[in-house]
Structure 1
Amino acid sequence: MALENGGDDFITKPFHPEIVIAKIRSQLRRAYGEYAVQVEERVLELEGLQLYPERLKLTVKDKAVPLSKREADLIESLIERYPRVAGREDLLEKLWDDQMYVDENTLNVNITRVRKKFEAVGMKGAVETVRGVGYRLNISRIKGEGQ
């Protein structure tokens, strides 16, 4: 009954304290010890730019800025498509599951927020608009040229 209701383990009464301690140690070993799942953090790097999608952080040289989940997803899409253009429709599809209910202006607002994040780390103009198509990263801004 205990396992069917979501429990991972159970002890029947009466029990010995040694059994409780052994079961606790077993759970700790599975959670934090040699049997624990080791998750390696993803880092997307591009010419001095580092995006940490799980930490929701953007770093350029020695400057860092926190991101929202949506901003991190948007920057990740731009990095993955670099040096090509990330199409508006592709971005809408990736960031919002059902683009039918998303206003076109929603993407514009999120692009504006991402641009402000890049400006906060000293990269004004890092996201270029390709008229009628979408957006792309301007790598010269990342390298520090033309600032």
Structure 2
Amino acid sequence: MFKIMLIEDDATLFHEIKDRLQQWTYEVVGVTDFGKVLQEFLEAGPDLVLVDIGLPKFDGFHWCRLIRSHSNVPIIFLSSRDHPTDMVMSMQLGADDFIQKPFHFEVLIAKIQATLRRVYNYNTERSPLRTWRGAVVEYVKNTITAENRSAELTKNEMFILQMLIERKNTIVSREELIRSLWDNEQFVSDNTLTVNVNRLRKKLEPLGLDGFIETKVGQGYMATDEAAAL
């Protein structure tokens, strides 16, 4: 049974979501003190976090930033705010998805299932270790090490990197990446993928791996190996 932490201050909505998730056999925990969200997160140890942006004391972005400093647990934002910068901000902070209120519960459960399946199942389907351009990529640990430096990736960043290096020197379309990451591209902004790829590239730069994930305009992305650079 997966444990989901629901950080939502609207009591009516909290109980509605909790009841529906429990019908799907998820364990749901809430927050008792919105000034101590990080502490309660660390004590609960959830497998996934659902967090609203508009919260008392500090907004969801604040708590996402703090949670990310301690954990790579998947995070999905829920928000009634519809400005594109909110989605961009959430992805820049390391969130895995963004769902705008009001939403159909079927969409919420589909995104939760896709995220849990991706995070907790995908990495076990292939070898946990891969080398790429002299770097060691550890899928299970979500780390990449090169030149005596390491970078810790979010689940989405590692998923993107894994898809690209497993098919190095081959273009992987944006549509395929979006479908694999979020199951249904109908509910995902194309910019969401761009933000995740850009974040991944920034983490690769200090490792001497900048420029090795190429953008193929109008097609997708490609990870190159040493042979491709000659």
TM-score scaled to structure 2, two decimals? Answer: 0.42
74-83 or 59-68: bigger deviation: 59-68
1:66 matched to 2:171: no
Structure 1: runs of 5+ lacking an equivalent: 1-38
Name 2:130's counterpart in structure 1: 44
* Letter matched to residue 113 of structure 1: R
Per-residue deviation, residues 61-83 of structure 1 (Å, max 9, x unmatched): 42210110000101001111111
Q: In structure 2, what is the Cα distance between the partners aligned to 1:133 and 1:44?
A: 25
TM-score scaled to structure 1, two decimals? Answer: 0.64
| Counterpart selection for 1:57 from 108, 120, 143 | 143
RMSD over aligned Cα atoms: 2.6
Name 2:224's counterpart in structure 1: 138
Moved over 6 A (4+): none
Name 1:36's counterpart in structure 2: none
Task: Look up the SS of the partner of 1:123 in the other structure.
Answer: coil
Task: Look up the SS of the partner of 1:79 in the other structure.
Answer: helix
Identity, % of aligned pairs? Answer: 31
Instruction: Give the count of matched residue pairs.
Output: 106
| Counterpart selection for 2:193 from 64, 87, 107 | 107
Shift, 1:97, TM fit? 1.6
Q: In structure 2, what is the Cα distance between the partners aligned to 1:77 and 1:113?
A: 16
Structure 2: runs of 5+ lacking an equivalent: 1-123
Instruction: Considering Cα pairs closer than 8 Å and 6+ residues apart, tell me whether 1 or 2 has the greater RCO.
Output: 1
Q: In structure 2, what is the Cα distance between the partners aligned to 1:112 and 1:96?
A: 18
Name 1:79's counterpart in structure 2: 165
The higher radius of gyration belongs to 1
Question: Is the 8 Å Cα contact of residues 147 and 208 (structure 2) preserved in structure 1?
Answer: no
